[in-house]
Protein backbone atom coordinates (compact mmCIF):
# COMPACT_ATOMS: atom_id res chain seq x y z
CA UNK A 1 0.00 0.00 0.00
CA UNK A 2 1.45 3.31 -1.05
CA UNK A 3 1.85 5.97 1.60
CA UNK A 4 0.50 9.51 1.19
CA UNK A 5 2.55 11.72 -1.11
CA UNK A 6 5.35 13.39 0.73
CA UNK A 7 5.39 10.91 3.60
CA UNK A 8 8.84 9.69 4.57
CA UNK A 9 9.01 5.93 4.24
CA UNK A 10 12.19 4.14 5.31
CA UNK A 11 13.92 2.28 2.44
CA UNK A 12 13.73 -0.95 4.46
CA UNK A 13 9.95 -0.66 4.51
CA UNK A 14 9.76 -0.02 0.76
CA UNK A 15 11.84 -3.15 0.18
CA UNK A 16 9.69 -5.36 2.39
CA UNK A 17 7.76 -8.16 0.61
CA UNK A 18 4.39 -6.90 1.88
CA UNK A 19 5.01 -3.36 0.60
CA UNK A 20 6.29 -4.69 -2.73
CA UNK A 21 3.27 -6.95 -3.26
CA UNK A 22 0.83 -4.24 -2.20
CA UNK A 23 2.34 -1.64 -4.54
CA UNK A 24 2.51 -4.17 -7.37
CA UNK A 25 -1.22 -4.82 -7.04
CA UNK A 26 -1.97 -1.07 -7.00
CA UNK A 27 -0.11 -0.60 -10.29
CA UNK A 28 -1.63 -3.75 -11.81
CA UNK A 29 -5.12 -2.60 -10.83
CA UNK A 30 -4.52 0.68 -12.65
CA UNK A 31 -3.68 -1.14 -15.87
CA UNK A 32 -6.61 -3.56 -15.52
CA UNK A 33 -9.11 -0.75 -14.92
CA UNK A 34 -7.80 1.00 -18.01
CA UNK A 35 -8.32 -2.19 -20.01
CA UNK A 36 -11.88 -2.54 -18.72
CA UNK A 37 -12.64 1.00 -19.84
CA UNK A 38 -11.00 0.34 -23.24
CA UNK A 39 -12.02 -3.23 -24.21
CA UNK A 40 -11.01 -2.56 -27.82
CA UNK A 41 -7.39 -3.13 -26.76
CA UNK A 42 -8.20 -6.67 -25.60
CA UNK A 43 -10.26 -7.26 -28.75
CA UNK A 44 -7.34 -6.16 -30.89
CA UNK A 45 -5.02 -8.61 -29.13
CA UNK A 46 -7.46 -11.49 -29.68
CA UNK A 47 -8.15 -10.65 -33.31
CA UNK A 48 -4.91 -12.15 -34.65
CA UNK A 49 -5.19 -15.62 -33.02
CA UNK A 50 -8.93 -15.85 -33.78
CA UNK A 51 -8.27 -15.09 -37.44
CA UNK A 52 -5.38 -17.57 -37.38
CA UNK A 53 -7.76 -20.30 -36.20
CA UNK A 54 -9.99 -19.56 -39.17
CA UNK A 55 -7.22 -19.31 -41.76
CA UNK A 56 -4.83 -22.05 -40.69
CA UNK A 57 -7.52 -24.28 -39.21
CA UNK A 58 -10.06 -24.22 -42.01
CA UNK A 59 -8.74 -22.36 -45.07
CA UNK A 60 -5.36 -24.14 -45.09
CA UNK A 61 -6.12 -26.86 -42.54
CA UNK A 62 -6.80 -29.73 -44.95
CA UNK A 63 -3.77 -28.89 -47.10
CA UNK A 64 -1.42 -28.62 -44.12
CA UNK A 65 -2.95 -31.76 -42.64
CA UNK A 66 -2.22 -33.60 -45.90
CA UNK A 67 1.40 -32.38 -45.76
CA UNK A 68 1.61 -33.81 -42.24
CA UNK A 69 -0.23 -36.99 -43.31
CA UNK A 70 -3.05 -36.35 -40.84
CA UNK A 71 -6.72 -35.35 -41.25
CA UNK A 72 -7.65 -31.69 -41.07
CA UNK A 73 -9.37 -32.16 -37.71
CA UNK A 74 -6.22 -33.64 -36.21
CA UNK A 75 -4.19 -30.75 -37.62
CA UNK A 76 -6.53 -28.27 -35.90
CA UNK A 77 -5.93 -30.09 -32.60
CA UNK A 78 -2.19 -29.80 -33.32
CA UNK A 79 -2.57 -26.12 -34.19
CA UNK A 80 -4.44 -24.77 -31.16
CA UNK A 81 -1.61 -25.03 -28.57
CA UNK A 82 0.59 -23.19 -31.07
CA UNK A 83 -1.98 -20.42 -31.36
CA UNK A 84 -2.20 -20.18 -27.57
CA UNK A 85 1.56 -19.55 -27.48
CA UNK A 86 1.31 -17.06 -30.35
CA UNK A 87 -1.25 -15.09 -28.35
CA UNK A 88 1.19 -14.93 -25.44
CA UNK A 89 3.90 -13.68 -27.81
CA UNK A 90 1.79 -11.08 -29.60
CA UNK A 91 0.93 -9.51 -26.25
CA UNK A 92 4.41 -7.97 -26.29
CA UNK A 93 3.09 -5.33 -28.70
CA UNK A 94 0.53 -3.83 -26.32
CA UNK A 95 2.99 -3.98 -23.43
CA UNK A 96 5.73 -2.16 -25.34
CA UNK A 97 3.40 0.55 -26.65
CA UNK A 98 1.76 1.14 -23.24
CA UNK A 99 5.11 1.33 -21.44
CA UNK A 100 6.53 3.70 -24.05
CA UNK A 101 3.44 5.92 -23.70
CA UNK A 102 3.73 5.98 -19.90
CA UNK A 103 7.39 6.94 -20.16
CA UNK A 104 6.73 9.71 -22.68
CA UNK A 105 3.67 11.13 -20.90
CA UNK A 106 5.40 11.33 -17.53
CA UNK A 107 3.30 8.63 -15.84
CA UNK A 108 6.39 6.73 -14.75
CA UNK A 109 7.96 9.93 -13.42
CA UNK A 110 4.89 10.60 -11.28
CA UNK A 111 4.94 7.05 -9.89
CA UNK A 112 8.61 7.38 -9.03
CA UNK A 113 7.90 10.48 -6.94
CA UNK A 114 5.55 8.45 -4.73
CA UNK A 115 6.81 6.46 -1.73
CA UNK A 116 6.44 3.12 -3.44
CA UNK A 117 8.74 0.30 -4.40
CA UNK A 118 10.51 1.02 -7.73
CA UNK A 119 10.21 -2.65 -8.66
CA UNK A 120 6.43 -2.48 -8.23
CA UNK A 121 6.18 0.24 -10.90
CA UNK A 122 7.21 -2.33 -13.51
CA UNK A 123 6.08 -5.55 -11.81
CA UNK A 124 2.52 -4.22 -11.67
CA UNK A 125 2.48 -3.97 -15.45
CA UNK A 126 3.75 -7.55 -15.77
CA UNK A 127 1.11 -8.82 -13.33
CA UNK A 128 -1.66 -7.06 -15.26
CA UNK A 129 -0.40 -8.66 -18.49
CA UNK A 130 -0.47 -12.15 -16.96
CA UNK A 131 -4.00 -11.64 -15.59
CA UNK A 132 -5.13 -10.38 -18.99
CA UNK A 133 -3.57 -13.47 -20.57
CA UNK A 134 -5.79 -15.64 -18.36
CA UNK A 135 -8.84 -13.99 -19.95
CA UNK A 136 -7.38 -14.39 -23.45
CA UNK A 137 -6.64 -18.09 -22.94
CA UNK A 138 -10.10 -18.69 -21.51
CA UNK A 139 -11.72 -17.18 -24.60
CA UNK A 140 -9.47 -19.07 -27.02
CA UNK A 141 -9.97 -22.38 -25.22
CA UNK A 142 -13.73 -21.86 -25.33
CA UNK A 143 -13.43 -21.20 -29.06
CA UNK A 144 -11.36 -24.35 -29.48
CA UNK A 145 -13.97 -26.38 -27.60
CA UNK A 146 -16.65 -25.26 -30.06
CA UNK A 147 -14.43 -26.63 -32.84
CA UNK A 148 -14.24 -30.04 -31.18
CA UNK A 149 -10.90 -29.59 -29.39
CA UNK A 150 -10.58 -31.48 -26.10
CA UNK A 151 -7.85 -31.33 -23.50
CA UNK A 152 -6.73 -33.41 -20.53
CA UNK A 153 -7.75 -31.54 -17.39
CA UNK A 154 -5.31 -33.55 -15.26
CA UNK A 155 -2.26 -32.07 -17.00
CA UNK A 156 -3.90 -29.21 -18.90
CA UNK A 157 -3.55 -26.80 -16.00
CA UNK A 158 0.21 -27.40 -16.04
CA UNK A 159 0.15 -26.46 -19.73
CA UNK A 160 -1.69 -23.24 -18.85
CA UNK A 161 0.98 -22.51 -16.27
CA UNK A 162 3.70 -22.82 -18.93
CA UNK A 163 1.79 -20.50 -21.26
CA UNK A 164 1.42 -17.87 -18.54
CA UNK A 165 5.10 -18.23 -17.70
CA UNK A 166 5.86 -17.50 -21.35
CA UNK A 167 3.56 -14.45 -21.24
CA UNK A 168 5.44 -13.15 -18.21
CA UNK A 169 8.72 -13.40 -20.12
CA UNK A 170 7.29 -11.51 -23.10
CA UNK A 171 5.78 -8.95 -20.75
CA UNK A 172 9.15 -8.11 -19.20
CA UNK A 173 10.69 -8.04 -22.67
CA UNK A 174 8.02 -5.55 -23.73
CA UNK A 175 8.57 -3.48 -20.59
CA UNK A 176 12.29 -3.24 -21.35
CA UNK A 177 11.69 -2.34 -24.99
CA UNK A 178 9.09 0.26 -23.99
CA UNK A 179 11.66 1.96 -21.77
CA UNK A 180 14.29 1.91 -24.51
CA UNK A 181 12.34 3.21 -27.52
CA UNK A 182 11.64 6.89 -28.15
CA UNK A 183 7.86 6.59 -28.05
CA UNK A 184 4.76 4.49 -28.89
CA UNK A 185 5.19 5.09 -32.61
CA UNK A 186 8.67 3.55 -32.58
CA UNK A 187 7.37 0.69 -30.43
CA UNK A 188 4.83 -0.25 -33.12
CA UNK A 189 7.63 -0.61 -35.67
CA UNK A 190 9.57 -3.02 -33.45
CA UNK A 191 6.45 -5.18 -33.06
CA UNK A 192 7.01 -6.51 -36.60
CA UNK A 193 10.09 -8.34 -35.30
CA UNK A 194 7.80 -10.67 -33.36
CA UNK A 195 6.44 -12.29 -36.52
CA UNK A 196 9.67 -14.06 -37.59
CA UNK A 197 10.11 -15.29 -34.01
CA UNK A 198 6.51 -16.53 -33.96
CA UNK A 199 6.56 -18.24 -37.35
CA UNK A 200 10.05 -19.79 -37.21
CA UNK A 201 8.90 -22.10 -34.44
CA UNK A 202 6.87 -25.25 -33.92
CA UNK A 203 3.64 -23.22 -33.83
CA UNK A 204 1.80 -23.55 -37.13
CA UNK A 205 3.81 -26.33 -38.79
CA UNK A 206 6.27 -28.81 -37.22
CA UNK A 207 9.95 -28.03 -37.54
CA UNK A 208 10.39 -31.36 -39.36
CA UNK A 209 8.72 -29.80 -42.43
CA UNK A 210 11.15 -26.85 -42.46
CA UNK A 211 14.47 -26.77 -44.35
CA UNK A 212 17.33 -28.14 -42.30
CA UNK A 213 19.06 -24.77 -41.91
CA UNK A 214 15.82 -23.29 -40.54
CA UNK A 215 14.77 -26.24 -38.39
CA UNK A 216 17.73 -25.86 -36.02
CA UNK A 217 17.01 -22.28 -34.82
CA UNK A 218 13.28 -23.07 -34.87
CA UNK A 219 13.86 -26.00 -32.54
CA UNK A 220 15.72 -23.80 -30.04
CA UNK A 221 13.10 -21.05 -30.22
CA UNK A 222 11.54 -20.46 -26.76
CA UNK A 223 8.11 -20.62 -28.39
CA UNK A 224 8.86 -24.10 -29.75
CA UNK A 225 9.71 -25.37 -26.28
CA UNK A 226 6.45 -24.07 -24.80
CA UNK A 227 4.34 -25.30 -27.71
CA UNK A 228 5.89 -28.77 -27.71
CA UNK A 229 5.52 -29.11 -23.94
CA UNK A 230 1.93 -27.86 -23.87
CA UNK A 231 0.89 -30.13 -26.73
CA UNK A 232 1.97 -33.10 -24.67
CA UNK A 233 0.24 -31.80 -21.53
CA UNK A 234 -2.98 -30.95 -23.39
CA UNK A 235 -2.95 -34.37 -25.04
CA UNK A 236 -2.82 -32.82 -28.52
CA UNK A 237 -1.10 -34.48 -31.49
CA UNK A 238 2.60 -33.68 -31.73
CA UNK A 239 5.60 -34.55 -33.86
CA UNK A 240 8.05 -37.23 -32.68
CA UNK A 241 10.88 -35.84 -30.55
CA UNK A 242 13.92 -36.15 -32.81
CA UNK A 243 16.19 -33.46 -31.34
CA UNK A 244 17.53 -32.56 -27.89
CA UNK A 245 15.30 -29.46 -27.52
CA UNK A 246 12.21 -31.49 -28.43
CA UNK A 247 13.13 -34.27 -25.99
CA UNK A 248 13.60 -31.73 -23.17
CA UNK A 249 10.80 -29.36 -24.15
CA UNK A 250 9.29 -29.11 -20.67
CA UNK A 251 12.64 -28.23 -19.11
CA UNK A 252 13.25 -25.54 -21.74
CA UNK A 253 9.66 -24.28 -21.44
CA UNK A 254 10.51 -23.39 -17.84
CA UNK A 255 14.16 -22.38 -18.26
CA UNK A 256 13.70 -20.05 -21.26
CA UNK A 257 10.98 -17.83 -19.73
CA UNK A 258 12.66 -17.69 -16.33
CA UNK A 259 15.98 -16.72 -17.90
CA UNK A 260 14.41 -14.09 -20.17
CA UNK A 261 12.39 -12.67 -17.27
CA UNK A 262 15.43 -12.42 -14.99
CA UNK A 263 17.59 -10.66 -17.60
CA UNK A 264 14.89 -8.25 -18.79
CA UNK A 265 13.81 -7.44 -15.22
CA UNK A 266 17.33 -6.42 -14.20
CA UNK A 267 17.87 -4.37 -17.36
CA UNK A 268 14.43 -2.72 -17.13
CA UNK A 269 14.95 -1.67 -13.51
CA UNK A 270 18.37 -0.27 -14.41
CA UNK A 271 16.84 1.64 -17.31
CA UNK A 272 14.04 2.99 -15.11
CA UNK A 273 16.61 4.47 -12.71
CA UNK A 274 18.37 6.21 -15.63
CA UNK A 275 15.31 7.79 -17.25
CA UNK A 276 15.89 11.17 -15.64
CA UNK A 277 19.58 11.34 -16.57
Closest among 82, 253, 39, 272 to 176, alpha carbons compared: 272
| pTM to 2 decimal places | 0.88
Residue 252 has pLDDT above 70, yes or no: yes
Give the 3-state secondary structure of residue 187: helix
87-133 confidence digits (pLDDT tens): 899 889 889 998 998 888 888 888 878 778 888 899 999 999 999 99
What ranges in the chain are assigned the alpha helix state H? Answer: 11-14, 17-37, 39-54, 61-67, 72-104, 107-113, 118-146, 153-180, 184-190, 194-199, 212-220, 222-234, 244-247, 249-273
CB 94 within 8 A of CB 175: no
Q: Name the more confident of 183 and 126.
A: 126
In this structure, which long-range contacts are made by residues 65-74, counting pairs with CB atoms below 8 Å and at least 24 apart in sequence? 67/205, 67/209, 68/205, 68/206, 68/209, 70/237, 73/148, 74/237
Amino acid sequence: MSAPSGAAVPPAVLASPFWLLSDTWVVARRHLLRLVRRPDELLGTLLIPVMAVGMFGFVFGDALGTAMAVPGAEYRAFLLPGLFALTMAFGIGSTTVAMAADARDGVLDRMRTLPMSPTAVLAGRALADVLTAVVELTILMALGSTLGWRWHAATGFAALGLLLLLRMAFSWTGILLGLLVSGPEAAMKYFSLVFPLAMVADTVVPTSLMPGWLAVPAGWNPLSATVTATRGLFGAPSSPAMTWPAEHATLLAVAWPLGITAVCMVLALRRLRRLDR
